[in-house]
Structure 1
Amino acid sequence: MHIHLLLLLSFTVLTACHRVEPVPEPPEEVEGATVYTTTASGTLFRESKIAFGAPEDVHFYKLTRTDESFQSVDGFGFAITQASCYNLLKMSAEDRTSFLREVFCRKNGLGSSLIRVCIGGSDFSLDEFTCCDTPGIENFAMHQSDIQYLFPVLDEIMQINPDVKIIGSPWSCPRWMKITENGGAAYDRWTGGRLNPEYYEAYAQYFVNWIVAMEQRGYPIHAVTLQNEPLNRGNSMSLYMSWQDQRDFIKKGIGPAFKKAGLKTKVLVFDHNYNYDNIADQRNYPLHIFEDAEAASYVAGSAWHNYGGNVSTLDAVHSAYPDKEIYFTEASIGEWNYTFAGCLINDFRDIFLGTLGRYGKGVTLWNLMLDSNGCPNRPGGCTTCFGAVAISTSDYSLKGITRNSHYYNVAHCSKVLQPGAVRMGTEGYSTAGLTCQWYLNPDGSNAVLMLNESGSDITVNLVTSAHSIPCRIPARAIQSVLWTD
């Protein structure tokens, strides 16, 4: 009896331990479009799925893509300043890698594919420097500050996304190349002064040396601007370079030097504000350079900031020279203008949709990462700027990062627009407060950027020959939609 009872108990235990529960069927994946939404009221890059509908069933609020095509897009991103690198390198290796993957990974992150770096120091470096502070171009060498801060971060970024494109910009030439603005006297200061025409060839070689040195380290340079904010006489590092000076530097220095070296790096002129800093004889700065056939032959296009004037300036630039490319290279948020809601909506309208709708090739915003005090920065530079993200100085951890509006602005573009995406024409539904841009990605997928500036939700049906996608865009919100027909 005891034996039978023991066997019965053993059988019960064994069968209980080995019981196989039926595996539930995985939920059927919805065939449809992926949608990302950020609202001024605080919904932050929420991902959702919208099931496809039948295009023939859509009769209202219908927006379709036409066959008309415009420019291709290189990408979106941030400036990897020395200040950004300093803060990134304060993080643990694990947290830093997680954050950089979040920003740059094409598959599981935002897929940021365009960055800007400083050629030498800036107002967001730890010191003022160039790559040739000892007189004589034979003394050119990559600066220890870049070796210590910039290169380790670039190494990680390029490992995550080898297709990232880099734009380089100097804040100043070496001081020994400077003269006073109104004459030939030497000007041994970081702020202001002019490039001495006697050094056009030497300074052009400086650019060549920098590009070659960067490429040897694994950082191919997509484009350079010849001077950050050439009409800015202030800042911790600067150089006044009129359009006349820049034109002559291109003709006598940069153009021949790049040609001799066989460089494919694009040259972008200007790199400053829409209003030309209200300097009367500098209005239409890039157009004057494009008017000179010799100078224009070496130049791919122009670069722009938005600290003065209106994006509509680009209409005249493209109209006059439609073959010249347009890049937006810098904007910052800061104490002077920042609210999350206001900057989220206004900057997406003006910087992103505003430049892309005027044939822009890409957007880079200013510092990727500053600390919660807007540091480090240089005396005489911007001491009230915010980064796209702010990191707490208490522990420099991933959990201590605050993502500001510029982070989400870039996210909404880079997540759905692949490098090489082409802006397409649209027809159909429109309403006050709604802006839509439709893109065709290289892999054939559709990407639509939408901005609702109104105080009410807006419904729009995106329709192709294969599918319809019914979208509801919340009041004061950005929405990005991605799907493959």
Structure 2
Amino acid sequence: MRPALIALVTAVAVTAAPVPALDAGETVDSWLTTTSDDRGRVVTRGLQPQTPIRFTPGTGGATITVDERRTYQQFEGGGASITDTTGWLMGSSGALSAATRDATMRKLFHPAEGIGLSFIRNPMASSDLARFDYSYDNTCCDVSDFSINHDLADILPLTKQAKDLNPAMTVMASPWSAPAWMKDNNHMHQGWLQAKYYGAYGEYFAKYIQAYQSRGVPIDYISAQNEPTCCAGYPSMRWNTEGLVYFTKNALWPALRRAGVTNTKTLVLDWNWSDYDAWGAQQLADPQITGDPLFGGIAWHGYGGDVAKQTEVHNRYPGVKAYGTEHSGGNWIRNQHDEDMLNVIDYTRHWARSVVKWSLALDQNQGPHNGGCGVCTGLITVHNGDGRHGQVDYTVEYYTMGHLTKFVKPGAVRIDSTDNAAVRNVAWRNPDGSKVLIAHNTTSGTQNPKVGWGSQSFTYSLPAKTSATFVWRGDQR
């Protein structure tokens, strides 16, 4: 993974000056998040509901026009990863009481009481955000000793609880490394998967999916490898593109079919925009990959390159679904609030059906970590062993993700909205017909966007360092 951020303070609510209601048209509800510091981490107003306003007739001078007659991709979910670090901190570490853990899970995953996270991407075995190296089968030379006992302590129960809280949840799994004995260096870090174990590794995937499904957690998507070849110093695995293609077609998918696993789709790449030419292009150019019923689309990470690559690839392969599957918060990010909101807007304006952060939780020291990312941050900070032991902070990443997941439901369709350099935005229509406009003030001063929709509009005073989500109903006319 990538180095990342710090944990934040609990948001302190402040009251914004109410916008006077108008006397005609549909009601518009709004929620604001504001940060007070230059690094976008101190939340002073977190998803705070505002006084409703109304549309008024006329659209002259609109700076953002929402047109629901023009539609794009469907939304499948937003969320983060229940890493070993997350599972242990929220579970068997004992840091959280059962009551605090359950309340926290509700604030994370419940669609009404929380922010309704709707996409979980879990590592298959250890990653950099784990306490140590581990796999699901440590004994050479077959997978007869496969066991997910490690996950039964924390990761699977929390994933199941999340699925119970939000039944619309999508679950993905990605491996950082095959078991050490399958690799030419007999180690979880780097090394190449030996060709003689391709078949066994395909069975490893099938057994993982079956084990989770039998415990009430269907796996909707997998990737064959998280971030192929990256990185030394933590669980990882080297590949060449030809080997990855061969493994997918001739070992992974046959193993899934033999096991009767036909509803779990495979996403290719699972790496950066800048890595597409090396790792993704050959896979999408192979009709035996894209034409297989087990193919699900392409997974993107946001650590390198240009998000416009997603649209470039979409234009070439319009039938291939795109997913944002990882981008961590971290110390290296200049302004976390800006980064998060622009990710939500740009990823989805460039066809992503999901927006997924990295670890859901870290402690106050940004760990535990197993090499790799010692400067990542999560959506929550679990205090463990310090003066605030047992308390949970909700970071700016919780609120920025909530601007998407609390209001845009799985099955929503992105609709057209005029992008605006001062107030970046993206719009959606939910399955129930409600409209959602997510907007972020990118400037250092108050902006007053005029939002046009059909023959109506509203104007809103959006303070600096502030994001907004607007929700309304009705028919465009």
Bin the TM-score by the shorter chain.
0.7 to 0.9
Task: Say if 2:21 is the partner of 1:32.
Answer: no
- 1:175 and 2:175 aligned: no
Residue 426 of structure 1: aligned partner:
417
CA pair 140-321 structure 1, distance change in 2 beyond 3 A: farther
The corresponding residue for 2:14 is none
Is the CA contact 1:455–1:476 (under 8 Å) kept in the aligned structure 2? yes
Q: How does 1:305-316 map to 2 (within 5 A)?
A: 305-316=301-312
Residue 355 of structure 1 corresponds to 347
The code of the aligned residue for 1:248 comes to Y
Over residues 6-58 of structure 1, what are the superposed CA-to-partner deviations in whole Å (9 max), with x where a residue is unaligned?
A: xxxxxxxxxxxxxxxxxxxxxx9x9722211112323322111322233x244
Q: Which has the higher mean CA deviation after the structures are superposed, 255-264 or 244-253?
A: 255-264
SS class of match (1:370): strand
Q: Which residue of 1 aligns with 2:443?
A: 454
For residues 78-477 of structure 1, the aligned pairs below 5 Å read: 78-89=80-91, 90-179=95-184, 187-260=185-258, 261-276=260-275, 283-298=277-292, 299-337=295-333, 342-349=335-342, 351-378=343-370, 380-394=371-385, 400-426=391-417, 431-465=420-454, 468-477=457-466
Task: Indicate the residue corresponding to 2:41 in structure 1.
Answer: none
How far apart, in 2, do the equivalents of 1:161 and 1:328 lie?
A: 20
Number of the residue aligned with 1:20? none
Where relative contact order (Cα < 8 A, 6+ residues apart) is larger, the structure is 2
- 1:69 Cα deviation (Å)? 0.8
Map of 1:11 onto structure 2: none
Tell me the CA shift for residue 219 of structure 1.
0.5
Q: Supply the AA of the counterpart residue of 1:235.
A: G
Q: Compared with structure 1, are the counterparts of its residues 101 and 397 closer, same or farther at alpha carbon in structure 2 (3 Å cutoff)?
A: farther
Q: How far apart, in 2, do the equivalents of 1:205 and 1:310 lie?
A: 36
SS in 2 for 1:438: strand
Q: Whose helix proportion is higher, 1 or 2?
A: 1
User: What is the rounded CA distance, in whole Å, between the counterparts of 2:351 and 2:204 in structure 1?
Assistant: 31
Q: Report Cα offsets for 1:420-477 as digits up to 9, x if no partner.
A: 11011235xx653222211110011101111220122222333445864432222232
Question: What do the CA deviations read for 1:374-406 (whole angstroms, capped 9, x no partner)?
Answer: 12111x322222222212224797983222232
Deviation of 1:310 after TM superposition, in Å, equals 2.2
- Structure 2 residue runs of 5 or longer lacking an equivalent are 1-20, 37-43
Aligned to 2:75: 73
Q: CA contact under 8 A between 2:108 and 2:117: conserved in structure 1?
A: yes
Give SS of 2:123's match: strand
Aligned to 1:59: 60
TM-score by length of 2: 0.86
Q: 1:440 to 1:245 in 2, by over 3 A?
A: same
The DSSP-based 3-state class of the residue aligned with 1:300 is strand
Which amino acid is 2:60 matched to?
Answer: H
- Deviation, structure 1 residue 125: 1.8
Contact 2:340 2:401 in 1 (8 A): no
Instruction: Give secondary structure in 1 for the equivalent of 2:73.
Output: strand
Matches of 1:469 and 1:457 in 2, distance apart?
16
Residues matched between the structures, number: 437
Aligned amino acid, residue 326 of structure 1: A
Distance 2:382 2:363 in 1: 5
CA pair 408-235 structure 1, distance change in 2 beyond 3 A: farther
Distance 1:471 1:356, change over 3 A: same
Contact 1:344 1:408 in 2 (8 A): no
Q: Could you tell me whether the CA contact under 8 Å between 1:61 and 1:459 is conserved in 2?
A: no
1:450 is paired with a residue of what secondary structure? Answer: strand
Secondary structure of the structure 2 residue equivalent to 1:195: coil
**Secondary structure at the residue paired with 1:390?**
strand
Report the 3-state secondary structure (helix = DSSP H, G, I; strand = E; otherwise coil) of the residue aligned with 1:478.
strand
Cα shift at 1:265: 0.9
AA aligned opposite 2:262:
L
Computed over aligned residues only, the root mean square deviation of the Cα atoms, in angstroms, reads 2.3
Letter in 2 for 1:34: D
Q: Matches of 1:396 and 1:223 in 2, distance apart?
A: 40
Distance 1:235 1:303, change over 3 A: farther
- Contact (CA 8 Å) 1:95, 1:397: kept in 2 or not? no
Letter in 2 for 1:376: P
Specify the code of the residue in structure 2 equivalent to 1:237: P
Per-residue CA distance 1:317-370 (angstroms, 9 max, x = gap): 212212111111112222333x5xx11112321x21111011101011011111
CA contact (8 A) 1:99 1:398 kept: no
Identity of aligned residues (%): 27
TM-score by length of 1: 0.85
The SS at the match of 1:33 is: strand
